[in-house]
């Protein structure tokens, strides 16, 4: 016992270091757990308040750009409205019905491997975990944690984010992921190399997702490389959306999605 | 010593806010993200009680983590440099320059020793942080570590120019 106490006394710096460092690494590894989420949710109430306050300054600077953005979006919506009425047949296979909530980004990063976005809408506005975030020119992320006034979303620029995509010209499906470093491009590694793709082809979301609507534009193919090992293309996609200049986004949610998910979960995975 | 405790605990929220509100927002390039807050660990006097050094490093890293949406990354890296700081200082800073309560600043230890000492700590901090984030080691990551470390060092040196003489 005496020896043990002496050992602790001599090595107290090392032991304290191991204890605190161990706790930190534990936090790091447990980042996806319920507990970590609870900590983030709690702290977002306060960090969100500070962010929101700071965002009011940048709002004035961005007014002109925001105006342009809204005008463009308006034009696009007008065009869409016109097409909708002239093709009444298409209503037969109506898309899932989506609710749109507007939200402002009050914090965002692009330089890390796993990036998060903080939004100024929370559970008080009807936002829930698992809702999708889009803009007129791309998929942005998925809500991961919600406090009363704020929400934190996993950005497309995150290791665990993948979105189902298809080639606009021939509906070939694939999965888009982000490989880190360059926030202007993402990659697809599961196009088999017998299909015809060329640089400049447009990529949109596919119809399989329960989170994102079909046909949200994502980007164009920037570079194609044949992977000799596995018979698939390594495709890099240049994203339409500039993640470093995000300002206003839409949080979307479909009631039918829950039903689809429930139905799909009834089928055991091994069948 | 108590004077230093209070000073550094007071500086903590200032540097955390400076980091998350200004430096994390200014995107120099996808490869560069300076972490000025390590200056607090660099400046702490050599004879700071070890327990204070480690717990202070944890508080500092954890505060930055809370703002970045994922826990553990910055605290792990910051505690690591707090731990290696006494060893690094032994090999880079000449003996008998510093009194017990002197902070480690550019003026006190001289520019050469200070630059080497800071660069060591910053490199260890950035390597630990980026490797934990990317979970891989490749040339692009190496470039990111180097670029970020150099820019952090430059900003750290700039802050040293504004330190007042005592």
Residues A94 and A37 in one domain: yes
pLDDT, residue B1, reads: 64
Distances (CA, A) of A73 to A68, A77, A106, A248, B63: 9, 6, 21, 12, 38
Spatial separation of the C-alpha atoms in residues B120 and B115, rounded to whole Å: 9
Q: Are residues A6 and A106 in the same domain?
A: no
Q: Which of residues 91-150 of B touch A (CB under 8 A)?
A: 130, 132-135, 140, 144
Question: What are the φ/ψ torsions at residue A205 (nearest 5 degrees)?
Answer: -70, 150
Mean pLDDT of A153-159: 89
Which of B19, B34, B70 would you mutate first to test chain A, the one with the most A CBs within 10 A? B70
- Considering the domain architecture, whether residues A76 and A91 belong to the same structural domain is answered as yes
What are the tens digits of pLDDT across the range A46-76? Answer: 777 887 787 777 777 778 888 888 888 887 7
CATH number, domain with residue A118: 2.40.10.350
- 3-class DSSP string for chain A: CHHHHHHHHHCHHHHHHHHHHHHHHHHHHCCCCHHHHHHHHHHHHHHHHHHHHHHHHHHHHHHHHHHHHHHHHHHHHHHHHHHHHHCHHHHHHCCCCEEEEEEEEEEECCCCCCCEEEECCCHHHCCCCCCEEEECCEEEEEEEEECCCCEEEEECCCCCCEEEEEECCCCCEEEEECCCCCCCEEEEEEEECCCCCCCCCEEEECCCCCCCCCCCEEEEEEEEEEECCCCEEEEEEEECCCHHHCCEEEEEEEHHHHHHHHHHHHCCCCC
Q: Phi-psi bin for A138: left (phi > 0), alpha (psi -120 to 50), beta?
A: left
Take residue A8 and report the two structure tokens written for it: 């602790």
Residue B49 lies in a domain: yes
Kindly state whether residues A144 and A84 are assigned to the same domain: yes
Number of domains in chain A: 2
Residue B29 DSSP symbol: B
Could you tell me if A13 and A81 lie in one domain?
A: no
End-to-end, the C-alpha distance of chain A in Å comes to 60
Task: Tell me if residue B158 falls in helix, strand or coil.
Answer: helix
pLDDT given for residue A90 in this prediction = 47
Give the pLDDT confidence of A162-178 residue by residue, as tens digits: 888 888 888 888 898 89
Query: What confidence score (pLDDT) does residue A82 get?
Result: 64
A contact test, residue of B69, B140, B146 with most A CBs within 10 A:
B69
**Which chain B residues are within 8 Å of A161, Cβ to Cβ?**
none
The verdict on a CB contact (< 8 Å) between A13 and B24 is: no
With CB atoms and an 8 Å threshold, state whether B72 touches A25: yes
Which among A24, A54, A152 has CB closest to B21? Answer: A54
My answer on whether A86 and A174 are in the same domain is yes
pLDDT of residue B164: 60
Q: How far apart are CA B66 and CA B63, in angstroms?
A: 5
Residue B30 lies in a domain: yes
Residue A85 pLDDT class (50, 70, 90 cuts): low
Look at residue B85 and tell me if it is in a domain.
yes
Residues A8 and A115 in one domain: no
A21 and B17 in contact by Cβ < 8 A?
no
Residue of A nearest to B32 (CA): A111
Q: Distance between CA B52 and CA B44 in Å, rounded?
A: 10
By the 8 A CB rule, do A214 and A205 touch?
Answer: yes
CB contacts under 8 A, B 69-98 vs A, are 69-73, 75-76, 79-80, 82-83
Q: What is the pTM of this model?
A: 0.77
Domain count, chain B: 1
The C-alpha atoms of residue B46 and residue A85 are separated, in whole angstroms, by 75
**Contact check, Cβ <8 Å, A20/B58:** yes
How far does Cα A238 stand from its chain's mean position?
Answer: 16
pLDDT recorded at residue B81:
92
B66 CB neighbours in chain A (<8 A) are 39-40, 43, 47
How confident is the model at residue A91, as a pLDDT? 46
- Residue range A218-240: average pLDDT? 85
Instruction: Tell me the pLDDT band of B141, cut-offs 50, 70 and 90.
Output: confident
pLDDT tens, position by position, A1-30: 788 888 887 888 888 888 888 988 888 887
Question: Has residue B153 been placed in a domain?
Answer: yes
Question: Rounded to whole angstroms, how far apart are CA atoms A138 and A232?
Answer: 25
- Check A21 against B76: CB less than 8 A apart: yes
% pLDDT > 70, chain B: 95
Q: Is the same domain home to A162 and A246? A: yes
Domain that holds residue A44: 31-271
So what's the pLDDT on residue B59?
92
Are A39 and A78 within one domain?
A: yes
Tell me what the mean pLDDT of segment A156-163 comes to: 88
Residues A21 and A155 both lie in one domain: no
The CATH number given to whatever domain includes residue B32 is: 1.10.1760
Say whether both A109 and A148 belong to one domain.
yes
Gap from A212 CA to chain B (nearest CA, Å): 23
Residue of B nearest to A152 (CA): B69
Q: Looking at the domain assignment, is residue B150 inside a domain?
A: yes
For residue B166, tell me if it sits in a domain. Answer: no
Which pLDDT tens digit goes with each residue over B3-60? Answer: 778 888 888 889 988 888 888 777 667 678 889 999 999 888 888 888 888 999 999 9
- Mean pLDDT computed over every residue of chain B: 85
Cβ A25–B83 below 8 Å, yes or no?
no
Q: Do residues A17 and A61 both lie within one domain?
A: no
Q: Do B76 and A31 touch (CB under 8 A)?
A: no
User: For residue B83, which residues of chain A lie inside 8 Å, CB to CB?
Assistant: 13, 17, 21
Query: Is residue A38's pLDDT more than 60?
Result: yes
pLDDT of residue A269: 63
């Amino acid at each position: 016992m005496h020896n043990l106490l002496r050992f602790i006394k001599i090595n107290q710096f090392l032991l304290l270091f191991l204890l605190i460092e161990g706790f930190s690494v534990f936090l790091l590894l447990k980042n996806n757990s319920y507990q970590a989420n609870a900590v983030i949710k709690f702290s977002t109430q306060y960090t969100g308040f500070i962010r929101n306050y700071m965002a009011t300054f940048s709002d004035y600077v961005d007014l002109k750009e925001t105006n342009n953005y809204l005008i463009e979006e308006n034009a696009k919506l007008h065009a869409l409205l016109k097409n909708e009425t002239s093709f009444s047949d298409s209503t037969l296979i109506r898309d899932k019905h989506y609710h749109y909530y507007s939200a402002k980004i009050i914090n965002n990063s692009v330089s890390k491997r796993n990036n998060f976005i903080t939004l100024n809408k929370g559970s008080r506005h009807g936002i829930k975990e698992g809702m999708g975030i889009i803009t007129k020119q791309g998929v942005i992320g998925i809500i991961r944690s919600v406090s009363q006034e704020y929400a934190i979303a996993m950005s497309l620029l995150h290791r665990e984010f993948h979105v189902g995509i298809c080639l606009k010209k021939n509906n070939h499906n694939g999965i888009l992921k982000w490989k880190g470093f360059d926030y202007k491009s993402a990659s697809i590694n599961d196009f088999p190399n017998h299909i015809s793709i060329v640089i400049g082809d447009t990529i949109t979301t596919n119809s399989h997702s329960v989170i994102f609507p079909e046909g949200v534009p994502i980007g164009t193919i920037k570079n194609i490389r044949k992977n000799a090992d596995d018979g698939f293309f390594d495709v890099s996609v240049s994203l339409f959306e500039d993640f470093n200049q995000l300002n206003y986004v839409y949080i979307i949610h479909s009631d039918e999605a829950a039903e689809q998910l429930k139905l799909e979960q009834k089928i055991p995975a091994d069948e | 010593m108590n004077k230093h405790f209070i000073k550094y605990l007071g500086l903590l929220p200032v540097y955390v806010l400076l980091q998350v509100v200004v430096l994390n927002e200014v995107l120099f390039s996808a490869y560069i993200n300076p972490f000025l807050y390590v200056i607090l660990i660099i400046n702490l006097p050599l004879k700071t009680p070890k327990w204070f050094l480690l717990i202070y490093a944890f508080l500092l890293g954890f505060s930055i983590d809370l703002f970045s949406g994922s826990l553990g990354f910055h605290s792990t890296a910051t505690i690591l440099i707090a731990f290696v700081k006494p060893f690094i200082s032994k090999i880079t800073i000449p003996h008998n320059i510093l009194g017990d309560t002197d902070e480690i600043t550019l003026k006190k230890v001289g520019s050469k020793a200070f630059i080497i000492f800071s660069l060591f700590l910053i490199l260890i901090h950035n390597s630990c942080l980026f490797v934990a984030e990317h979970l891989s080691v490749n040339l692009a990551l190496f470039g990111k570590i180097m670029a970020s470390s150099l820019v952090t060092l430059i900003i750290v040196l700039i802050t040293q120019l504004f330190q007042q003489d005592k």
